[in-house]
Structure 1
């Protein structure tokens, strides 16, 4: 990775986040008609097919080359859990607020980094964690528009995503990034395909719904490819704070597609969560501690 073209890296990052927001918005629409496990299967299966078509001819066996296959499988299963919990939450809650609650993942990572990675959690990180949870309470406050079941799904998904990110840190020094991406698609496809006899059912999709179902894997796979490309052109410290732009995409799509906007307190909570995450990203930069 180089920092020779940071503007290109930023543009790729913003495009990747738009893909992820489109994935969430599409899954929210489809989950009103089709079962969430079926949509999770489609999201990984079409992602897997994309990787086979575009990468297998050139990379061949290198796609599967790993020194830690068990950890690769566990990491991939955690991401399958994230996808399932997130889609289930999107089914019953607004797009922007649900996205914001899922973005407390960096706070969970900060809490788990000490016992699992041996990292020191100083006063700045503890302050960012406390502020982030305060922002979460502004969104998930009693009497708000969110339902308890959806909040629980978001928090579970965020916890799974935190463990996934920690395992990514453990694997990244020795494993190829594209190989890790391939294992998430492969394991997700195999796991959900094994469950397919029990989750298949419901109405037959129209041709438009079938295209939308296929787009889940396309948005997910394309988003991850763009993310990898972004980190080839800009440093992690440059790109990490931009992750919260997805909140903006989610808010815009929630307004344009579902005619839903967060209230003032929810907007405040989203801003606090984003600010806490940006502070954590800034504090993690070399030379700031």
Structure 2
């Protein structure tokens, strides 16, 4: 690898590392906010900020290409799936610590890999099945009976993993005909409309404080910045190198859960989270070598 390529790949790794850190920060902020305010209100604000940022920053550069699509119905459906994923993630975070929640939802990348064979006709190496079993074992340790996690929180986290799997599979299919920016914009627009409509009905008698409104807006900025960095990272480095870095999200989530909420998982939960981390990285590395 020449120095230029090496430097570019390093930038890609740094971008992904920063992006997943921002995602973990947004998760922690989300937990704090949805424990205090209706989910619909918090997410409507977050998605509205996302739309406004895309319009201000990307519209001058992309023009009508920002929202132009070829398969509009499927693009909107993808946005609805992500809005439902956001809802289930928020419901899980209301009931569970950040680290354990993120560990469970990281079943999604494993499921995407396994389902890409029968659904997208991509080759799945037998070693990937071993990695999947290892990850499932880790998740079982995290959400085991007697582990202290809220049952409904676990259910919502598993639903989020299922929705995340569908979302990523649709993204891989739609990427063949749609631009990254148009898919990002429609996700933000659908989320704004969906949560905005329900926020009106759930509007509390006491509105959030100025500080909480600022946190909602900041969460929107942080999440948008994370998605932007995540997108440009793959222009700098190969997916085989960057995919394992995604699993730093689990590390950041665990650390922020401790720092922000003073939550330290028990020994078996830490072991389970470690198994998910190791299995995910191993599967991503193996998939990259296969490519």
The TM-score bracket by the shorter chain reads over 0.9
* Contact 2:47-2:192 within 8 A present in 1 as well: yes
* Contact 2:67-2:182 within 8 A present in 1 as well: yes
Q: How many residues align?
A: 287
Match of 2:59 in 1: 56
2:264 is paired with a residue of what secondary structure?
Answer: coil
Q: Structure 2: how far apart are the matches of 1:146 and 1:42? A: 29
Choose from 251, 255, 259 the match for 1:256: 259
Match of 1:288 in 2: 290
Choose from 226, 242, 247 the match for 1:223: 226
Q: Structure 2: how far apart are the matches of 1:87 and 1:196? A: 14
Q: Tell me whether 1:150 sits opposite 2:153 in the alignment.
A: yes
1:173 positional shift: 2.1
Choose from 132, 137, 142 the match for 2:135: 132
TM-score (norm 1): 0.94
Structure 1 unaligned spans of 5+:
none
* Contact 2:244-2:281 within 8 A present in 1 as well: yes
* Contact 1:41-1:189 within 8 A present in 2 as well: yes
Structure 2 unaligned spans of 5+:
none
Q: Structure 2: how far apart are the matches of 1:58 and 1:95? A: 36
1:95 positional shift: 1.1
* Contact 2:104-2:139 within 8 A present in 1 as well: yes
Q: Tell me whether 1:68 sits opposite 2:91 in the alignment.
A: no
TM-score (norm 2): 0.94
* Contact 2:80-2:190 within 8 A present in 1 as well: yes
Q: Tell me whether 1:30 sits opposite 2:33 in the alignment.
A: yes
Task: Give RMSD over aligned pairs.
Answer: 1.6
Choose from 11, 14, 20 the match for 1:11: 14
Q: Structure 2: how far apart are the matches of 1:191 and 1:56? A: 22
Match of 1:245 in 2: 248
* Contact 1:241-1:278 within 8 A present in 2 as well: yes
Match of 1:271 in 2: 274
2:290 is paired with a residue of what secondary structure?
Answer: coil
1:84 positional shift: 1.0
* Contact 1:138-1:269 within 8 A present in 2 as well: yes
Q: Structure 1: how far apart are the matches of 2:111 and 2:204? A: 36
Q: Structure 2: how far apart are the matches of 1:39 and 1:116? A: 35
1:3 positional shift: 6.8
1:116 positional shift: 2.0
- Pair 202,279 (structure 1): closer, same or farther in 2 beyond 3 Å: farther
Q: Structure 2: how far apart are the matches of 1:240 and 1:120? A: 17
Choose from 141, 144, 150 the match for 2:144: 141
